[in-house]
Amino acid sequence: MFHAVKTLFFCTALALAGHAQAQDGPELHVVAVGKGRQTDDFYALPETRIMVDRPGQSVALVLIDGGEMQWRIDMTEGTRVLDVIRSGPDPENSAIMLADIPMTGIDVPGLPLVRNPVGQDFRKLVKTLTERYATDRLHSFQAARLAPAAQIVVDQVQSDPALAHEYLAQALGRKDDLPPGIRDGSGMQPVSSATVTFDTKGVRLTDATGTRDFPVTPDVPRVLLPVASTHDPATGTIYAMTYGGEGYIYTIDTKDGAWRVVTSLEEYDARTLLFDPTTRALVTTGAFSRPGEIKVFAPDGETTSLFVPTTAFPGLTDLFDYGNEHGPPLVPRRLEDGWLLLDAEAPHDDRSNTAPARRSYALDIDTGDVRLLSYRNP
């Protein structure tokens, strides 16, 4: 349905728009609607009605739908709609009417049908459109699962920072008051050269001396679902963690093979495990939908627990389809003076040669204060 008739579209739009003066580039307004509203005409496409009320401005209108949609666009006097882009998962069965005149929009395949200005798909949408129009932001974004009975009105520039192409640059946190090992984001703990493999039968340690197996001893609760393990090169101790059921953190003494329980996790499903050699504390972060559920187990038995919502970590929702899937874990890297260094990385795309997106954070474990230290986008 969409063909290369952009010249005809521009001429008609300009004739309808009046004599307002054009600006350097059009404002970029996005409307996403999953399903149109059925009219009294049973044979007509379900419709969504839009009023563009931006007198004195030139507008590029981006329409994203779930297919089988009749878009009906009106404009106030002096508003200039220069481009209409139509996209969505079904590129065929939609139509556009501009001021009651059938129009052929610009087909840009593959724009995601997003319903909130958050998540990996929304960042792809912002990136694609801002690069296409050589602008630094979307000027507005509106979305609905079902078209409302009234018109959707496009009449303002929204101030939401998430609409900017480089919105995370404004979200970077203060660093000068952070501990030195946290401040530069590179104060990682020494990495053991040993490799630890953890399964339901026990752990296998491979280091400079060779490979040794340490079977689970019968005096500790059985291992249900192994999830993480780490090695302290200074003492040779192995730490192993399970989830599912009650969940436990174990230590394994590599000198005599003895297993013992450090603590029960009391049905808390943890995803990552850090042993901090300075404080000798164990740090865990949550699994599945709760990566910000963080616990610090001190050697004296004291436990610090806090829960920080995913949305409180700037840019974390960019790494996955927020609302539809679980995100990557927050990986603890260092604990210093009450601050925890964490990072998260998007899953690697085998089809891409670029490094995956990454975020690094500092977290105050007493207050829950989160600061974005650095970020990398593909």
User: φ, ψ for residue 316 (rounded to 5)?
Assistant: -65, -40
* Rounded CA separation 289/12 (Å): 50
Find which of 34-48, 150-164, 191-205 is predicted with most confidence, using mean pLDDT: 150-164
Mean pLDDT, to the nearest integer, of 312-339? 94
Mean pLDDT, to the nearest integer, of 29-37? 96
Look at residue 227 and give its three-state secondary structure.
Answer: strand
In the predicted structure, residue 14 carries a pLDDT above the cut 50? no
- Intra-chain end-to-end CA distance of the chain, in Å: 33
Mean pLDDT, to the nearest integer, of 29-34? 97
User: What is the side-by-side strand order in the sheet with 225-232?
Assistant: 225-232, 237-243, 248-253, 259-264
Residues 6+ apart with CB under 8 A from 194: 205, 206, 207, 231, 233
* Rounded CA separation 325/344 (Å): 15
Predicted pLDDT of residue 184 = 78
Mean pLDDT, to the nearest integer, of 203-229? 94
Mean pLDDT, to the nearest integer, of 164-187? 89
Predicted pLDDT of residue 185 = 63
Q: What predicted TM-score, i.e. pTM, was given to this entire model?
A: 0.85
Predicted pLDDT of residue 97 = 94
In the predicted structure, residue 212 carries a pLDDT above the cut 80? yes
In the predicted structure, residue 22 carries a pLDDT above the cut 80? no
User: φ, ψ for residue 171 (rounded to 5)?
Assistant: -100, -5
The answer to which of 189-203, 211-225, 228-242, 363-377 has the lowest mean pLDDT is: 189-203
Predicted pLDDT of residue 190 = 53
In the predicted structure, residue 289 carries a pLDDT above the cut 80? yes
Predicted pLDDT of residue 138 = 98
Instruction: Label residue 93 by pLDDT band (50, 70, 90).
Output: confident
For the chain, give the longest Cα–Cα distance: 87
Write the CA distances from 335 to 104, 108, 277, 282, integer angstroms: 58, 47, 9, 10
* Rounded CA separation 210/354 (Å): 36
**Which of 123, 142, 6, 135 minimizes the C-alpha distance to 62?**
142
Predicted pLDDT of residue 191 = 56
* Rounded CA separation 96/245 (Å): 55
- The answer to whether the CB of 332 falls within 8 A of the CB of 344 is no
Predicted pLDDT of residue 90 = 74
Instruction: Label residue 192 by pLDDT band (50, 70, 90).
Output: low
In this structure, are strands 281-286 and 293-297 parallel, antiparallel, or unpaired?
Answer: antiparallel
* Rounded CA separation 187/181 (Å): 4
Write the CA distances from 123 to 28, 154, 344, integer angstroms: 15, 21, 17
Mean pLDDT, to the nearest integer, of 289-308? 93
Predicted pLDDT of residue 12 = 37
Mean pLDDT, to the nearest integer, of 204-208? 91
Instruction: Label residue 186 by pLDDT band (50, 70, 90).
Output: low
What single-letter DSSP state applies at residue 150?
Answer: S
* Rounded CA separation 207/196 (Å): 9
Half-sphere exposure of 98 (CA within 13 A, CB side): 25
H or E element that contains 122: helix 120-132
Instruction: Label residue 41 by pLDDT band (50, 70, 90).
Output: confident
* Rounded CA separation 157/203 (Å): 58
- Assign residue 97 a region (left: φ > 0; alpha: ψ between -120 and 50; beta: otherwise): beta
Scanning 193-314, the segments in alpha helix (DSSP H) are none
* Rounded CA separation 258/253 (Å): 5
In the predicted structure, residue 300 carries a pLDDT above the cut 90? no
- The answer to whether the CB of 333 falls within 8 A of the CB of 345 is no
